[in-house]
Amino acid sequence: MASNGGKKLRNFTNLFLPNAAIQQSLILIPPHSPQDYALKCRQSLLTTMNSTVSESNLTTMSIRSTVLKLLHLVVSLGIVLAMDKFLNKVFVAVAIKFPSSLFGMFCIFTVLVVLDSTVPAAATGLMNFFQPALLFIQRWLPLFYVPYLVVLPLSVKDIPAASGLKIFFIIVGGWLASLCVAGFTAIAVRKIVNTEMIPAEPMPKPSSFSSVELWSWGGIFVISFVSALLYPTALGTNARTCLPFLLASTVIGYMFGSWLPSGVKMVFHPIIFCALSADLAALAYGKLSHFGLDPVLGYYLTKSSSNPGAGDILVDFLGSVVLSFAFSMFQQRKLVKRHAAEIFTAVILSTFFSLYSTALAGRLVGLEPSLTVSILPRCVTVALALSIVSFFEGANSSLTAAAVVVTGLVGANFVQMTLDKLGFRDPIARGIATASSAHGFGTAALSAKEPEALPFCAIAYALTGIFASVICSVPPVRQSLLAVIG
């Protein structure tokens, strides 16, 4: 009987506990003790149930953590964007021409420095709070420059081919000249001060793109593209209806471009892939809807807050890019203080040289004054270059942005090879020369292979735009530049 009872219990176990791991966890009990065997089965079931509950709790905690991280990002990024919008409205209301985002950057940096000297924990807490927003801006930074490259066909439509060729030569030659001035200046000052290099503060890197993100944006593109074809004004206007699929095509192009092999990126920068993706989407929609390419590109960047396009959404982040400079400079404040002589001397000289050499080159090659003014801030990040040309009348802001992007692309593709040919071995000189001549694109290209140069790139990248903005806000400087341009 005992033997039959044991067999029945084993059959019960095989039927209701098919998991081999659970069965193996049961200690085989002699046939004459079925009660003990049943007790062991009961204990094993309880263990399995507890394990399932634990896994469920872990899943719940993971979801909660993801939601909290998302909320943290939304709040921190929202504050940065709101601050930029508020300052911009105030500066417009009181007719101040100085870049509002640059003023905001100075304020944030000052607050961080004061807190660091009085309540260090508060400064650290502030940095940690805005870290998700800063990583978001860093991750998507190239996208904020793309709109002006996407609408380049519209920007250059009225520019003669000869003038376009002159602009290209000024950009390429100016990039090389600015790189040499910044690099050789940094090396000369380095030899004079002879400051020993110390490790920089580690800078967090944003996460890479996932296949889930790609498929999500792909779904948005397909659904919104078809909807726009069927109902061109479904969201009120053509621009708003085209916004989802044009934005999705831009993002998808950037994702694919970032996944390209490094060898391909040397000749086909991700930003080009990104712009081409948006242009192809606009071309396809223009053909299928019979609107044509030019109107659809007009929907991409309307420059109207009441009727925004995909490009307007991206351009709105440019002010937040400038505000983020405050955090990156504060993070590397020790490095800035230690190498202040090299950094400030090289950046200031390079900035003056870039502005005045561009003005002179435009006059020497006979470029129209309005076009020369438009490309003056070629070595400054788009976020501040647009503010700089707003000081001058008759400037083409779309051409300004395009010139800045092309300068960055030239630098990104050729900066490392050029630095090697010029014999620049010092990371400080390489970083400053790169950022002073090719801003963010050059910085990204060099730091990907030479991370030790990244801090100096980041500092020079920010300071070049800051000094150029401050210089051009001074009326006598603007008048002298216009005099050189003729």
Residue 87 in domain = no
Q: What is the pTM of this model?
A: 0.78
Identify the band that residue 335 occupies on the pLDDT scale cut at 50, 70 and 90.
confident
Neighbour tally for 124: CB within 10 Å: 13
Q: Say whether both 357 and 461 belong to one domain.
A: yes
Q: For 103-117, 176-190, 355-369, 407-421, which range has the lowest pLDDT when averaged over its residues?
A: 407-421
Identify the band that residue 52 occupies on the pLDDT scale cut at 50, 70 and 90.
low
Q: Which of 53, 70, 87 is the last residue of a domain?
A: 70
Q: Say whether both 105 and 185 belong to one domain.
A: yes
Predicted confidence (pLDDT) per residue in 425-466, tens digit: 888 889 899 989 988 778 777 776 777 777 788 888 888 988
Give the chain's domain count. 2
Q: Say whether both 13 and 126 belong to one domain.
A: no
Q: Say whether both 375 and 449 belong to one domain.
A: yes
CB 70 within 8 A of CB 76: no
Residue 77 in domain = no
Please determine, for residue 171, whether its predicted confidence score (pLDDT) is greater than 90.
Answer: yes
| Average pLDDT of every residue of the chain | 85
Residue 182 in domain = yes
What's the rounded Cα separation, in Å, for the pair 382 and 472? 15
Residue 41 in domain = yes
Q: What is the pLDDT of residue 16?
A: 46
Of residues 178, 125, 85, 206, the one with CA closest to residue 408: 178
Q: Say whether both 65 and 128 belong to one domain.
A: no
The vertex-464 CA angle with 478 and 200, nearest 5°, equals 165
Residue 81 in domain = no
Backbone angles phi, psi at 410, to 5 degrees: -60, -45
| 178 φψ region: left (φ > 0), alpha (ψ -120 to 50), beta (else) | alpha
Which residue shows structure tokens 């209701």?
Answer: 16
What's the rounded Cα separation, in Å, for the pair 439 and 449? 16
What's the rounded Cα separation, in Å, for the pair 216 and 260? 20
Q: Say whether both 34 and 153 belong to one domain.
A: no
Which tokens go with 296?
Answer: 């659809």
Q: Which residue has the higher pLDDT, 369 or 486?
A: 369
Q: Say whether both 400 and 448 belong to one domain.
A: yes
Predicted confidence (pLDDT) per residue in 120-154, tens digit: 999 999 999 999 999 999 888 888 888 888 988 88
Residue 79 in domain = no
Predicted confidence (pLDDT) per residue in 282-331, tens digit: 999 999 999 999 999 999 999 888 899 999 999 999 889 889 888 988 88
Q: Say whether both 354 and 224 belong to one domain.
A: yes
9-22 residues labelled b (16+ CB within 10 A) or e (exposed): bbeebeeebeeeeb
Predicted confidence (pLDDT) per residue in 64-91, tens digit: 888 889 999 999 999 999 999 999 999 9
Q: Say whether both 22 and 110 belong to one domain.
A: no
Q: Which of 52, 70, 88 is the last residue of a domain?
A: 70
What's the rounded Cα separation, in Å, for the pair 472 and 116? 31
Q: Say whether both 46 and 155 belong to one domain.
A: no
Please determine, for residue 347, whether its predicted confidence score (pLDDT) is greater than 90.
Answer: yes
Please determine, for residue 194, whether its predicted confidence score (pLDDT) is greater than 60.
Answer: yes
Q: Roughly what angle, to the nearest 10 degrees, separates helices 238-258 and 120-150?
A: 110
Q: Which domain holds residue 27?
A: 2-70
Q: What is the pLDDT of residue 129?
A: 95
CB 417 within 8 A of CB 450: no
Please determine, for residue 15, whether its predicted confidence score (pLDDT) is greater than 50.
Answer: no
Which residue shows structure tokens 């929907």?
Answer: 299
Which tokens go with 51?
Answer: 């394990």
Q: Say whether both 398 and 256 belong to one domain.
A: yes
Residue 321 in domain = yes
Q: Which of 70, 88, 119 is the last residue of a domain?
A: 70
Q: What is the pLDDT of residue 1?
A: 46
Question: What Å distances lie between residue 384 and 298, 397, 484, CA to CA?
Answer: 23, 11, 22
Residue 426 in domain = yes
Secondary structure (H, E, C), the chain: CHHHHHHHHHHHHHHHCCCHHHHHHCCCCCCCCHHHHHHHHHHHHHHHHHHHHHHHHHHHHHHHHHHHHHHHHHHHHHHHHHHHHHHHHHHHHCCCCCCHHHHHHHHHHHHHHHHHHHCHHHHHHHHHHHHHHHHHHHHHHHHHHHHHHHCHHHHCCCCCHHHHHHHHHHHHHHHHHHHHHHHHHHHHHHHHHCCCCCCCCCCCCCCCCCHHHHHHHHHHHHHHHHHHHHCCCCCCCHHHHHHHHHHHHHHHHHHHHHCCCHHHHCCCCHHHHHHHHHHHHHHHHHHHHCCCHHHHHHHHCCCCCCCCCHHHHHHCCHHHHHHHHHHHHHHCHHHHHHCHHHHHHHHHHHHHHHHHHHHHHHHHCCCCHHHHHHCCCCCCCHHHHHHHHCCCCCCCHHHHHHHHHHHHHHHHHHHHHHHHHHCCCCHHHHHHHHHHHHHHHHHHHHHHHCHHHHHHHHHHHHHHHHHHHHHHCCHHHHHHHHHHHC
Q: Say whether both 336 and 228 belong to one domain.
A: yes
